Amino acid sequence: MKSKLYIVVLLVSPVFCQQIFAQANTSLSNLVSPTAVNQNLTPGLTNSLSAGSTTKNWKSIYIGTEYYLKNFRIIHAPGATNFFTGPNAGNPATTGTNNTALGDNALAVTTTGSFNTGLGFTALNKITAGSRNTASGYQAMYNSVGGSYNTATGERALYSNSWGGNNTATGSAALYANTNGAGNSAFGYRALFSNTTGNSNIAIGTAALYSNTTANNMVAVGDSALLKNTAAFNVAVGSKALMNNTTGRSNVALGYKALDLNVSGQGNTAIGYYADISTNNLNNATAIGAYAQVNTSNSLVLGSVNGINGAPATVNVGIGTNAPTQRLHVVGTQLLDGNLTFATGTASIQFANPGATPAPMMYMFPSGTVNTDRMVIAHSPAYPTWGLRYSDLSDDFDFLGNGTSVMRIDLSSQYVGIGTTTPAYKLDVCGTIRAKEVRVETGWCDYVFEKDYKLRSIEELEKYVNDNKHLPGIAPAAEIEKEGLKIAEMNKAMMEKIEELSLYVIQLNKENKKLQAEIEALKQQ
Helix H, strand E, coil C: the string for 438-469 is CCCCCCCCHHHHCCCCCCCCHHHHHHHHHHHC
**What was the pLDDT predicted at 32?**
58
Question: Position 117: which residue type?
Answer: T
Give dist(CA 397, CA 420) in Å, integer: 13
Residues ≥6 apart with Cβ < 8 Å to 127: 107, 109, 110, 113, 116, 118, 133, 141, 144, 145, 146, 147
- 309 confidence band (pLDDT: 50, 70, 90): very high
In percent, the amount of the chain with pLDDT more than 70 equals 88
- Distance CA(299)–CA(315), nearest Å, equals 17
Contacts (Cβ under 8 Å, ≥6 apart) of 461: 472
pLDDT bracket for residue 56 (50, 70, 90): very low
Domain boundaries, the chain: 374-429, 446-523
Type and span of the H or E element at 119: strand 117-119
The rounded distance, in Å, linking the Cα atoms of 173 and 339 is 56
Higher-pLDDT residue of 274, 52? 274
SS3 515: helix
How many helices (H) and strands (E) the chain has is answered by 4, 28
User: What is the distance between the alpha carbons of residues 245 and 5, in angstroms, rounded to a whole number?
Assistant: 57
pLDDT at 253 over 50: yes
Parallel, antiparallel, or unpaired for β 235-237 and 219-221?
parallel
**299 forms bridges with which residues in the sheet?**
none
**pLDDT of 37:** 54
Round to whole Å and give the CA distance between 70 and 419.
Answer: 118
Residue 25 is predicted with a pLDDT of: 45
Q: Which contacts (CB < 8 Å, 24+ apart) does range 90-93 have?
A: 92/65, 92/66
pLDDT of residue 223: 97
Spatial separation of the C-alpha atoms in residues 57 and 447, rounded to whole Å = 151
Q: Which of 2-6, 29-33, 184-188: highest mean pLDDT?
A: 184-188
Dist. CA 164–CA 23, nearest whole Å: 50
User: Which pairing describes strands 276-277 and 269-271: parallel, antiparallel, or unpaired?
Assistant: unpaired
pLDDT category of residue 491 using cuts at 50, 70 and 90: confident
pLDDT score recorded for residue 401: 96
Rounded CA-CA distance 506/120 in Å is 141
Q: How far apart (Å, rounded) are the C-alpha atoms in residues 400 and 395?
A: 16
What pLDDT band is residue 252 in, cutting at 50, 70 and 90? Answer: very high
What are the φ and ψ backbone dihedral angles of 520, each rounded to 5 degrees?
Answer: -65, -40
Compute the distance between CA of residue 385 and CA of residue 382 in angstroms, rounded to an integer.
9
Interatomic CA distance for residues 135 and 142, integer angstroms: 9
pLDDT band at 8 (very low <50, low <70, confident <90, very high): very low
CA 72 from centre of chain: 63
Find the range with the poorest average confidence among 97-111, 250-264, 476-490. Answer: 476-490
pLDDT of 159 reads 98
Pairing of strands 61-63, 3-5: antiparallel
Burial string for 89-107 (b: 16+ CB within 10 Å, else e) reads: bbbeebebebbbbbbbbbb
Over residues 485-511, the mean pLDDT reads 88
- Average model confidence (pLDDT) across the chain: 88
Band of residue 9 on the pLDDT scale cut at 50, 70, 90:
very low
- What is the per-residue pLDDT across 192-214, written as a single tens digit (0 to 9) for each? 999 999 999 999 999 999 999 99
Q: Which residues contact 214 (CB under 8 A, 6 or more apart)?
A: 196, 197, 198, 230
Average pLDDT over residues 423-429: 92
The reported pLDDT for the residue numbered 36 is 57
Q: Among residues 321, 317, 316, which one has the least CA distance to residue 332?
A: 321
Q: Grade residue 24 by pLDDT with cuts at 50, 70 and 90.
A: very low
Q: What is the mean pLDDT of residues 251-271?
A: 98
Q: pLDDT tens, 125-137?
A: 999 999 999 999 9
Per-residue pLDDT at 63 exceeds 90 = no
pLDDT at 351: 87
Least confident of 35-39, 90-94, 381-385: 35-39
Residue 322, pLDDT above cutoff 90: yes
Most distant CA pair in the chain: distance in Å?
206
Q: What is the pLDDT of residue 29?
A: 52
pLDDT-derived band of residue 33, with 50, 70 and 90 as boundaries? low
Mean per-residue pLDDT, 349-357: 87
Angle at 279 between CA 275 and CA 284, to 5 degrees: 70
Whole-angstrom distance, CA of residue 47 vs CA of residue 11: 10
